[in-house]
Amino acid sequence: MARGRFILLEGCDRAGKSTQCTMLVDALKAKDLSVELYKFPDRTTTIGQMIHAYLTNSKELDDRAIHLLFSANRWEAMQEMKRKLSAGIHLVVDRYAYSGVAFSTAKGLDLTWCKNPDRGLIRPDITFFLDLPTSEAERRGGFGDERYEKRELQENVREVFLKLKDKEWTVIDAKKSILAMHFEILRETELKIRDGEKDGRFAEEDDVVLEDLFLD
Ligand code: DGP
């Protein structure tokens, strides 16, 4: 059995990641594929609850401390994600380590320092970056009350994302309609899944780590 594919959707706030993740999961399920959704931060765990308290401004934390908590929140999911991929389940993931680096670097932390805690996490097979200018994000009903939902920070975040972007990323213009984005994401995902089926690779041979992804 070929292992599942790790499909990541990254992007700025309000770009439509969560909508696209749900649509992608539903579309893959409709094609009888085995697929599950992961969302980071996962606010249901103990670490996730601390992150939630920070994001909703009910708890203050040092910038480095919260950065490490976001990373730990990904690490605590790693064994389960690996098991599922090995069992042939595709994972659609809403945000990951790139958000970690983008947000903390945008706040002023050192880029290399920010990357280090996430080194060794499993590497996505395909990364979609949903790109949306901040002015457009604001027009979509404005930002909410959470800690990072501020124009200047969001602009910095987008800049870091664009710096992190490597040639393997698929950039999706998030100004497009929801359906147009969906079909683009679905088409690329299906191609990637078919690639995996052709060469029939297994997780053990294929656990590429994120280290390779952060092209320093
Ligand atoms: P979401 O639940 O996708 O709306 O994300 C909550 C907020 O947290 C959002 O503004 C983006 C930010 N965020 C997501 N992941 C990370 C991370 O790893 N590090 C930091 N500093 N912020 C993150």
CATH number at residue 48: 3.40.50.300
Furthest-apart CA pair in the chain: how many Å?
A: 50
189 lines ligand 1 (CB under 6 A): no
Residue 72 lies in a domain: yes
Which residue's CA is minimally distant from atom 4 of ligand 1?
13
Residue 216 lies in a domain: no
Across the range 89-95, mean pLDDT stands at: 97
Residue 43 lies in a domain: yes
Q: What are the tens digits of pLDDT across the range 52-90? A: 999 999 999 999 999 999 999 999 999 999 999 989 999
- The pLDDT, as a whole number, for residue 122 is 92
Nearest residue to 55 (alpha-carbon basis) of 177, 172, 145, 129: 145
What tokens appear for 102 in the block? 């983008």
96 lines ligand 1 (CB under 6 A): no
Owning domain of residue 92 = 6-211
Q: Which residue has the tokens 């993931």?
A: 93
143 lines ligand 1 (CB under 6 A): no
Contacts (Cβ under 8 Å, ≥6 apart) of 208? 122, 123
3-state secondary structure of 46: helix
In the sheet that 169-173 helps form, which strands lie side by side, from edge to edge?
Answer: 35-39, 90-94, 6-11, 126-131, 169-173
Residue 13 lies in a domain: yes
> Total domain count for the chain?
1
Q: What are the tens digits of pLDDT across the range 150-196? A: 999 999 999 999 999 988 899 999 999 999 999 999 999 999 888 86
Report CA(41)–ligand 1 centroid distance (Å). 6
> For a pocket test of ligand 1, which of 17, 20, 51, 103 has the largest count of ligand atoms closer than 8 A to its C-beta?
103
Report CA(51)–ligand 1 centroid distance (Å). 9
> For a pocket test of ligand 1, which of 12, 148, 154 has the largest count of ligand atoms closer than 8 A to its C-beta?
148
> For a pocket test of ligand 1, which of 64, 74, 94, 95 has the largest count of ligand atoms closer than 8 A to its C-beta?
95
The whole-model pTM stands at 0.94
Residue 175 lies in a domain: yes
* Choice among 33-37, 120-124, 203-207 with the minimum mean pLDDT: 203-207
Integer Cα distance of 213 and 94 in angstroms = 18
Residue 152 lies in a domain: yes
Residue 1 lies in a domain: no
Integer Cα distance of 9 and 154 in angstroms = 17
3-state secondary structure of 145: coil
Indicate which atom in ligand 1 lies nearest the CA of residue 66.
Answer: 21
100 lines ligand 1 (CB under 6 A): yes
**Helix count (H) and strand count (E) of the chain?**
9, 5
Integer Cα distance of 121 and 124 in angstroms = 9
Residue 191 lies in a domain: yes
* Choice among 86-100, 176-190, 202-216 with the minimum mean pLDDT: 202-216
